[in-house]
Each structure stands twice: as C-alpha cells, then as structure tokens.
Structure 1
Amino acid sequence: MKKMICGLGLVTSLLMNAQTQIIAHRGFWKTQPETTENSLKALENTQKLKIYGSEFDVRMTKDGYLVINHDEHHGGMTIADTNFADLEKVKLSNGENFPTLKSYLEQGKKDPKVKLIVEIKPAATKALEDELVRKTIIAIKDLKLESQCEFISFSFNICKEIKKVDASFKVQYLNGDLSPEQIKKEGLDGIDYHYNIFKKNPTWLAEAKSLGLITNAWTVNDVKVFDELKKQGIGFVTTNTPDVFKDR
C-alpha cells in the first residue's frame, strides 16, 4: 500500500509539472534570423511552434485606431498623440507594415489552436482605457475570436473594465502588487506576475492554485528559473525563448 501511495504521488507530481504551458512574449521573434517583436511574422512563427499562445500589446492612436506595439513610441512618435496615417508611414524593422489589431487578429484566426494573449496597455485616463477595452472587445467579437482570446494588463482599471464589458473573458493582472486572495475577491481570473514577485512571495503560487486562479510568470528566459517555477506547478510561463522551453 505504501508503494502504491508513493507511486500515485509521483504520478500526480509529474502530471502537475507537465501542465506548465508556454506563451511567446510578443510572439516568437527571437529566431535565426531574428525578426521583429509584435510583428505578424512573430505570430506566424508562434503558430508554427505549436505552443499554447502568443502575447501581444494593444495601444490606441490619437484618432482611435488600435495598433500593436509594446513601447509607447513608434518611429519617434508617441502613439497616443499621433494619427494612424502618420504612424503607418514607418514600417517595422523587418519591413512589415505597422500592425493594426485587426491585421494581427486575422493572422491569429488562421490557427485556432494558438491562444491570443491580449495585453491592453494603460492609457492616460480612465475614459481612454475604457474606450480601448470596448474597441478591443468589439474587434475580437467581429472576428468571432472570443474563445481564442485571453486578456492581461498592468492597469487594474482595464482588468476590471474587461470583466464589466464581458465577464466570460479570462483576465489576469500583471502588476504584482495584489495577493491571490485580493485577485480572487476582485473577480479576476489569475495572476501573471514577474517571476521575482513569486520569489519575494513564496506562498503566492500555492495560494493562487488553491483559489482556482490562473498562474503565469513573465518574462522567463533562464532555464533554472523555468525549472523552479515548473517544479512549483505554475500553469503558464511567458518567454522570449519559447522554442527552448516547449519540450522541457
């Protein structure tokens, strides 16, 4: 009986570790030759890699267009203060056109198995954030991609607004300043924190799992960090090197 219990414990441990899923940070761009982060090519590379998902960043231009870009600037222009017609004149470093949310979602729809992890970037005011949320969800629903999309944000207001507009979407908070208990109380679905947050709060992963929350860590590029998080049973890891971790 003791051997059977030990065996079951080992199987449970292996299954728990095997559940760690990989998300490409801004797509799989760290390739040979390297392409551009948040590009359609980076998303296409992720789709070929056959991992859980591809994360990307949504911002809004001065005239209300939704575009994909991590930094608040593109070609030396502040996205929030510049019209799309001016921004699109500057191509990405790999020669692609400056991507819109629509073009990115259309590429994502080509492979329903790859989740689209939508990071909505904070804006200057609550009103702008709420507009950004509303327009993003409309774009997703227009393409019937609700089941393929999940949301993350550093803005607590954006996270709450997404759930307000459509509670069926999975929403994870990025900032790292709220405990799993607080996240659960606020009605969000998970924590997606920098891996150092979990080092500083060693009980949070176990607490989050016990509360039924999604657990994710960013941006994990070190094998030792990945292995330790996997050992603790983390659900997801977001990384610039998804090819390194996909079969680990």
Structure 2
Amino acid sequence: MKVYFALFFLMIISFASQAQTMKWNQNPVIAHRGAFKKNNYPENSIASLKEAIRLDCYGSEFDVHMTRDGVIVVNHDADFYGMDISSSTYKELLVKKLPNGESIPTLEAFLKEGMKQKKTKLILELKPAKTEEEMMRLTEAAVKMVHDMKATEWIEYISFHYGSLKRILELDPKAAVAFLASGDGAVSAAKLKEDKFAGADYNFAVYKANPALFEEAHRFGLTINGWTVNKEEDLLWMLDNKADYITTNEPELLFELLAKRKR
C-alpha cells in the first residue's frame, strides 16, 4: 500500500511540474525577427530566437518562404543574399551563410529549437508568394509541418494575405491567426470577428491615425498587436492604450519600461 501511495505522490508532483512548464510568458513583448539588435545577431536566426526566449518575451516573430524544392525556410525578404528563394533549391541556398555562421534556418529547425521550451510563443508570419497557388502551397505546407511536429501549442500565425489566414482556420479551426495590415489595408474588428480571427496586427501608424481601433477590437474580444514599435514614446503610447502585444526591435527597452511601471 505504501508503494502505491508513493507512486501516486510522484505522479502528482510530475503533473504539477508539467503544468508549471505550460505557462506562457504574461507580457506584451514580441521580438521582431527574434531579439537580434542589442547583441548584433542576424535577424530570423536561431541565435535571435534563443535570445528572445532568454529574455522571456511573450513571442518571437519570424518569417517563412518556400524554396523551389518545397523546403520552408526562415527569412524576411524573398531573396537570401541575392538568391531568390522561390526559384532556388534549399541546397543552393546553403552556399550563403548568415553573419554568425548559421545557414538559412528551416521551419523544421526553428520549431525544434522553439519547442525546447514552453514559455515563449513562436509567431509565424507567412510572407506573400508570387502567385496565389504558391501562397496556398506555402500555407498548407506550414500548417502540415506544425501539426506533424505537434507544435500547434507554440504557434500563432500572422500574414498580410487574408485568404491564407482563412485557409489556416479551415485546416485548423483552433489556430490563432491575426491579420497584418498597414495604411488603408486595415479590416474592421467586426469582419475579423466574423471570420474567427484572434486579433488585429496593424502597423503602429494605423493605430495612431485611429485610436478608436483599440476599443473596437477589445469590444469584439480581439487582441491588438502593433508593429514595428521602437521609440520609447511610441512604446509608452501603445501601453497607455492597452495594446495586448507590441512587436519591437527593442524588446529590452520595452521590458525596462514595463518594469518602471510596476515600481
């Protein structure tokens, strides 16, 4: 009987420990392309992802494209050091290196690294492709990889391509998706809610031009994220207006401002 009680006690401790590791960071800080700037890490690198995790950011944003041979890679621009990604094979891209010696990361490698922890979300941006067919191919392949690797709990999706986000929700109705927009491309909160999006992810200037978007989005139960907010006065303005998330190249500065507010 004592053995059974001991085993039961160990199980309780194990479950409690596991539950603690499932708590995502509760702050508004999303590192844009990882936390790269302060330590001069390459943007969208494994190193910048690790630094965002070390800083305890809520999320680390990164961008994906697909190579000619169907490999999903992490890079902001459509070209990698002058090589067009969509018309290059992954092997061809390996000729070039990031400044810290890393090869261009694959989505698979990014997910493997990000899944080593359970406190920082991975904010996956699907970059626009040359054609609608290529965009859907990238979207479906990315969602499949996330599911095959059992990484759904870590991932939130963002994109400027509205149809891509709707397709994600067809493939995974539980996915968290947010629409990226700048200028007059913003969509109403009512429309985002109707299409079952989780939030609005607009350029900082969109909110400055129409601060009512904060109240509107929250009234519909949507989250607000602004990008790319780097100046202290702009970060403070976003905090004052109760932004849920702030995507920034200056995560360290944003953490400093948050700490001052708690004093």
Q: Taking structure 1 as the reference length, what is the TM-score of the superposition?
A: 0.89
Which structure is larger by alpha-carbon Rg, 1 or 2? Answer: 2
Q: How far apart are the structure 2 equivalents of 1:54 and 1:48?
A: 11
Aligned mate of 1:184, from 183, 187, 193: 193
AA partner of residue 139 (structure 1)? M
Higher RCO by CA contacts (8 Å cutoff, separation 6 or greater): 1
- Give me the whole-angstrom Cα distance separating, in 2, the residues matched to 1:140 and 1:164: 15
User: Which one of 68, 74, 80 corresponds to residue 74 of structure 1?
Assistant: 80
1:6 corresponds to: none
Distance of 1:63 and 1:220 partners within structure 2: 36
**TM-score, normalising length: structure 2:** 0.84
Deviations 1:45-69 (A, max 9, x none): 1111011010000100111110000
1:207 aligns with 2:213: no
The number of residues matched between the two structures is 229
CA distance in 2 between partners of 1:211 and 1:75 (Å): 42
Note the aligned Cα RMSD (angstroms).
Answer: 1.2
Could you list the runs of 5+ residues in structure 1 that have no partner in the other structure? 1-18
What's 1:31 paired with? 38
Distance across 2 between alignment mates of 1:243 and 1:143: 31
Q: Distance in 1 between matches of 2:141 and 2:46?
A: 20
Distance 2:27 2:152 in 1: 23
Cross-structure match for 1:101: 107
Matched, 1:246 2:252: no
**CA shift at 1:142, angstroms?**
2.0
Give the conservation status (yes or no) of the 8 Å contact 2:72–2:106: yes
Query: Is 1:44 paired with 2:47?
Result: no
Q: Distance in 2 between matches of 1:180 and 1:47?
A: 31
Is the contact made by 1:151 and 1:170 (CA closer than 8 Å) also made in structure 2? yes
1:1-248 to structure 2, matched below 5 A, reads 21-32=28-39, 34-176=40-182, 177=185, 178-247=187-256, 248=258
TM-superposed CA distance for 1:186, in Å, is: 2.4
Query: How many Å separate the matches in 1 of 2:103 and 2:201?
Result: 30
Decide whether the 8 Å contact of 1:126 with 1:157 is kept in 2: no
Residues 55 and 119 of structure 1 are in contact (CA less than 8 Å); yes or no, is this contact kept in structure 2?
Answer: yes
Question: Deviations for 1:131-156, whole angstroms, at most 9, x for unmatched residues?
Answer: 11111112112221111110000111
Give the percent of matched residue pairs that are identical in Structure 1 and Structure 2: 37
Deviation at 1:20? 5.4
- 1:190 & 1:101 partners in 2: Cα distance? 23
| Cα distance between partner residues in 1 of 2:162 and 2:137 | 15
Query: Matches of 1:160 and 1:41 in 2, distance apart?
Result: 31
Change (3 A) 1:215 1:20: farther
- Cα distance in 1 between the residues matched to 2:38 and 2:209: 32
